[in-house]
Structure 1
C-alpha cells in the first residue's frame, strides 16, 4: 500500500525526514528526493525526478551519481538502450571515477538482460581485473558464471562457480553458486555429477530457499540415472516444501513415470490422474494421458487402456505419442483376443505412419496377430518386412526366430533351418541366440539329419554355458545319438543327463531312454532292470507304461517268449485304452496265428475290434480274421471277410491284398472260373479304381496259369496304369512272357524291352526283362544285339552283372571269334 501513496505525501515525508539536517539547498533536496525514491524502488518517480534534476542542474556535483541512478531506473524499466547511454555518460565523465565500477557493473547487467552475454562477460571481467575492491566484485564474478550458463557453456560455468565458492565461501552468493553448479551439470547431462552436487547442496544448505528446486532437479537427475525409487522421494520432498512451485506439475509428472519404471503401476496411475485433475491444460497432458493408458495396459485393464489411447488418437492428432497410441491399442486388442480389430489397427498404423520409428514394431506386432489368425504366410511376410525396415538388431533377430518357429510348425524344415542359421551367423549378440541354436538342433532332428542335430546340440552346450536350454539340449543330444544308431554314446549321454539334472522334469524320459539304449545294444537283462526302475520310480508317468511294453520286447528278443506274452498281456490289462494297446493286441494275434494257434489269435483280433472299432489297425485285424476263417476251411466265410475289408477300408493297402487273396482262394480250390467271376464282380463294383486294376491282373494270372495266353494278355493290359510302379512293371513282364509262350518271339522281345524303357527305376523287373530279351536274341542267333544288352548289364552294380559278363565271354569266344576266323 505504501508504494501507491500520492506524490505529495511522499514529498512531505521526505521534508519531515530532513528537518534534523542542516539547511539544504534546493538542488540537494531535489537530488535526495530522487535518490530516496530510487532506494524505495519507486523507479518511475525516481526516473522523473532525476530527468528533471539533470535538466535543472546540468553542472551539479551530483550529476554523475544522477546519471548512474537514472541508468538504473531505465534498467528496471527495461529501457536498456537508454540505460546504457546513462552508464556511458558516467564512464566518460572525468569526475566520475569513483563510480566507474558501478557503471560498468550495471552496463553488464543490461547486456545480461538483453542476452548479449559476451558483452556482459567482458564488462564483468573488467570489474574483476580493474576494481578488486569494488563492492560489485563478488556479484560480477558470480554473474560471469551465470553468463556462461545461459550461453550453454556449462563446463565453463561450473568452473567459474566452483572458483567463486573457493574464493568466497562465506559470501551470500555461495549457496546460489553451489546450486548453479548442480544446475549446470544437469544441463550438460552429467547426471551423476549433478546428483552429487545437489546432494551436497542440500546437506550444506538444508534451509536454503533453493532447496525445493534442488530436490526437484535431484529427482530429475536420479530419474535420468535410472534411480527411480530415489527420484520419487526427491520429487515428493520438493512438493512437500513448495507445492505451488513452477516445477510442481513436472515433479508430479516425474513421480508418475518413475513409479511406472519400477512397475508400481497403481501408484503411477494415481500420480498421472492427479496431474490430469490439477493441470488439465498443461502442454504435457497428452503424455500424461498416454501414461494413464500405459498403466492400465500393465495392470491388464485393457478396456480402460483402449479408452485413453483412443483419446490421444482422436484429440491429439499432432502428439508425438499418436503412433505409440496406435501400437499400444493394437497390443490391448491382441491381449483381449480381438485379433481382427488388432490387425486393422496395425494395418492402419503402417499406412499412416510410414516414417515412424515404430514402423518396424507395427509390422512385428502385425505378424504376431496374423499368427493367431493362422495367416501364416502373411505373418511371415510381415516379420520379414519388420526385419527389412528395422535398425533394431534385437527385433530383427527376434523376428527371424519367430519366422523359424513358424516354418518349423509348418514342417518347412529347410526354411526354418535358414532362419536359425541367419541368427547364428549375423546376430551373435542376440540375447536368445542359444534358443536359435537349440531350435536349429530340433529342426535338423526332424529332418532326420542326426549328424547336424548332434553338432547343433553340442554347440549349444559348449558355446552357451549359462543357457537355460542346456538341460533340454543334453537330452536332445542323447536322442540324436540314439536315432543315428550310436547307442553307446546315447547311453552315456542319458546317464550324464540323469547325473547333472537329477531334479529335471525330463528324468523319467531320460531313464526310459537308458533302457532303450541297452535294448538296442542287446543287453536285454540290463534293459529290463532299467525299465523296471522307471516303473518303480515314476509309476504315474507315461514312461512307466512304455516301460512295461518294452520289457515285453526285451523278453521276446532274448528268446523268453512265454515271459514276453505274459508281459504284453499285463500291458493290455493295465493300460486297456492306451494309444498302442491295439498294436499290442494285433501283434499277439499275429504271434498266435504264426504259431498256428488260430483260436487264440482270433480272441485278440476280435477283442481289438470290439474295444476299438475305429482303430488305425482295425483293417489289419479284419484282414487276419479272414485268414483264420480260411484256415478253418470256410472258403465262403473267408471270401466274405476279405470282401468286408475291401468295403470298409477301401483306401487301405489291405483292400488290394484282399482282392488278390479272393482270387487266390478260389483258384487254389480249383474254382478258377468262380475266381474269375468273383474278381469280375469287384471290377464292376469298383470301376476306375485300384481294385479294378488289381482284379484284372489277378484274372490275367489265372488265365496265364490255364495257358489262355491271349486272354491273359488282354487282362494284363487292362491292369496297367500310367504310374512308375512295381505292379505295372511286373504286369508288363507277364505280357512279354505270354507272347513268348505263344511263340511270338519278336513281339515278346518288344514287350520285354518295354519293361526296360518304361520302368527303368524298377530294377527287379527291368533287369529280368533284359535277361529274357538277351536270351531270346541268342535263340535267334542275333549275337550282336544280345552282346549289346549284356554289355549294358555288365556295367551296373547288380548281381546279374556277373551272369552278363559270363555270357559276353561265351559269345565272344564261341561265336564271334569263330565267325571272324571263318572269314
Structure 2
C-alpha cells in the first residue's frame, strides 16, 4: 500500500481542487482501514464527508466509519450509522450492505431477534442483491445451530430454488446434508452431498462433501463403498488439504473390515510430519491394529512411538502407556508394567484410581512370586 498512499497523498497535497480529490481521499481512508490504522482512517473518511458533501463517496465514507466502529467492537456507534444508511438508501446496494452489517451488529450484541429481523428484511428489500443469498445462508445457519431444522431447511431450499447454480446454493446443499444427517435421514443427506460432487465438482466444498458421505458409509459399516469414495478425494483432489483425512478414513474402513495390514498402511499415509494430537492419534491406531492381532512386540514398539514422538499429546501418551502396561502385565513382565503405571500416575490422569488399583495388584503378584 505504500506506493498508493504516496500517490494519493501527493494528489491531495498538490491538487486539492482536482476532480479526483474525493476519490483520492476515500482511497486513502480505505487503505488506512484495511491496514488497521483506524484513527487515520476515521479522519480521512470525515474529510470526504466534510470537504466533498456532494460526492457520491459521502455515503461510502459513512459506511467506512461504521465499519471502523464495527471492527473496534463499538457496535452501538456502528448501528447508528448503518441504520441511517439502510433507511436512506433502502433497496440500493449500499443500503443492503448497511442492513447486512446492521444484522451482524445486533447479533454481536446478542440481540438475536433484531438480527433475524434485519436479515429477513434484506430478503425482501434486496431481491436482486447478492446479499440476499448471504442473508438466507445466515438465517439457515442460525436456525441450524439452534436445532430448528424445519426453518433452516426452508431458507436453504429457497436459495436452491431461486438460484440453483450460485455459490450460495453449494453451501445450502452442504448444510442440508448436515441437517438430514442430524435427522438420521441418511439417504437424503448423501443425496445433498452427492449433488455437490456431481454438479459442482470444482467447488472447494466438493472434497468435504465426499468425506461427509464417507462418514455416513462408515457409520453404516459400508466399508467398501466408503473406501471408494475416500479414494475419489485422493484422485480427484490431490492438492486438497483433506487428502490426509481421506487416507485416515480409508484406514478406519479397513480396520472395520479387520484388514489390519491395509489399515496400518493407510494410517501411516495419513500421518503428517508435524508433532500434533492428530498424528499421535494415528500412531496410536497403528499400534492398536497390531495389538488387536496379538502382535505384542510390534504393538509395544508402536505404542512407544506415541509416548516418545508425541510427548505433548497428553491424552494419547496416557492411552499408550496404559496399553503398554496392560501388555506387559499380560506377558508377565511385571516390573515393566509397574514402571508404566508409575509413569501414568505422574501424569495426573483422571483414571488414577484404576491405575493405582492395577499397580497394587501387580505389586502383590510380585511379592507372591518372591
Q: Deviations over 1:418-438 (max 9, x none)?
A: 222111111112133332233
Give the CA deviation at 1:547.
2.1
Partner residue in 2 for 1:512: 284
Partner of 2:366: none
Shift of 1:512: 1.1
User: Is residue 18 of structure 2 the alignment partner of residue 274 of structure 1?
Assistant: no
Q: Give the counterpart of 1:492 among 257, 265, 279.
A: 265
In structure 1, distance between residues paired with 2:45 and 2:220 = 54
8 Å Cα contact 2:207/2:242 also seen in 1? yes
CA distance in 2, matches of 1:286, 1:297: 16
Q: 5+ unaligned residues in a row in structure 2: which ranges?
A: 362-370
Distance 2:154 2:37 in 1: 35
- The secondary structure found in structure 1 opposite 2:240 is coil
The CA deviation at 1:522 is 2.8
Shift of the 308–436 alpha-carbon distance from structure 1 to 2, 3 Å rule, reads: same
Q: Does 1:342 align with 2:106?
A: no
Change (3 A) 1:245 1:406: same
How much has 1:309 moved relative to structure 2? 0.6
Counterpart contact for 1:361–1:386, Cα < 8 Å: no
Asked if the contact 1:229–1:259 (Cα under 8 Å) also holds between the matched residues in 2, the reply is no
Match of 1:400 in 2: 173
1:368 paired to 2:146 = no
Whether 1:331 and 2:107 are equivalent positions in the alignment is no
CA RMSD of aligned residues (A): 3.7
Distance in 2, Cα, partners of 1:352 & 1:285: 22
Residue 534 of structure 1 is matched in structure 2 by: 306
Aligned CA distance change for structure 1 residues 541 and 432 (closer, same or farther; 3 Å):
same
Q: Take 1:340 and 1:571, find their aligned partners in 2: how far apart are those partners?
A: 55
Partner of 1:359: 132
Matches within 5 A, 1:169-188: none
Contact 2:48 2:61 in 1 (8 A): yes
Equivalences for residues 400-799 of structure 1 within 5 A: 400-408=173-181, 412-498=185-271, 501-539=273-311, 541-551=314-324, 554=327, 560=331, 570=341, 574=345, 578=350
Rounded to whole Å, the distance in 2 between the matches of 1:398 and 1:272 is 35
User: Structure 1 269/319 Cα, relative in aligned 2: closer, same or farther at 3 Å?
Assistant: farther
Secondary structure of the corresponding residue to residue 358 of structure 1: helix
CA drift of 1:312 comes to: 0.9
Q: Which residue of 2 aligns with 1:110?
A: none
Q: Deviations over 1:766-800 (max 9, x none)?
A: xxxxxxxxxxxxxxxxxxxxxxxxxxxxxxxxxxx
Give, in whole Å, the separation in 1 of the partners of 2:353 and 2:186.
32
Output aligned runs, 1:198-347, within 5 Å: 230-257=3-30, 262-264=34-36, 266=38, 267-317=40-90, 319-347=92-120
Q: Secondary structure at the match of 2:49?
A: helix
Query: How far does residue 363 in structure 1 lie from its aligned partner after superposition?
Result: 0.7
Give how far 1:488 is off. Answer: 0.4
C-alpha distance 271-432 of structure 1, shift in aligned 2 (>3 A)? farther
Contact 2:280 2:306 (C-alpha < 8 Å) held by counterparts:
yes
Q: Please state whether the residue corresponding to 2:203 is helix, strand or coil.
A: coil
Whole-angstrom distance in 2 between the partners of 1:583 and 1:449? 37
How far 1:232 sits from its partner (Å)?
4.5
CA distance in 2, matches of 1:384, 1:248: 47
Q: Is the 8 A contact 1:413 1:447 kept in 2?
A: no
Q: Hey, what does 1:618 align to over in structure 2? A: none
- Tell me the CA shift for residue 329 of structure 1: 1.0
CA drift at 1:385: 1.7
Shift of the alpha carbon at 1:243?
0.6
Q: CA deviation at 1:508?
A: 1.4
Render the CA deviation track for 1:652-683: whole Å, top value 9, x for unaligned: xxxxxxxxxxxxxxxxxxxxxxxxxxxxxxxx
Structure-2 change in CA distance of 1:352 and 1:496 (3 Å) = closer
SS, match of residue 25 in structure 2? helix
Change (3 A) 1:576 1:250: closer
Residue 504 of structure 1 deviates from its aligned partner by 4.3
CA displacement, residues 14-36 of structure 1 (integer Å, 9 cap, x when unaligned)? xxxxxxxxxxxxxxxxxxxxxxx
**1:305 CA drift (Å):** 2.2
Structure 1 or 2, whichever has the larger Rg, is 1
TM-score when scaled to structure 1? 0.39
Q: Matched residue of 2:117: which SS? A: helix
Q: Greater relative contact order: 1 or 2 (C-alpha under 8 angstroms, separation 6 or more)?
A: 2
CA deviation string 1:297-342 (max 9, x = no partner): 3454433322211111234446542222111111222334433321
Q: Provide the C-alpha distance between the structure 2 equivalents of 1:312 and 1:371, rounded to a whole number of angstroms.
A: 30
CA drift of 1:352 comes to: 3.5
Q: Deviations over 1:710-736 (max 9, x none)?
A: xxxxxxxxxxxxxxxxxxxxxxxxxxx
Q: 1:436 to 1:523 in 2, by over 3 A?
A: same
Where structure 1 has 5 or more consecutive residues not aligned to the other structure, the ranges are 1-227, 590-823
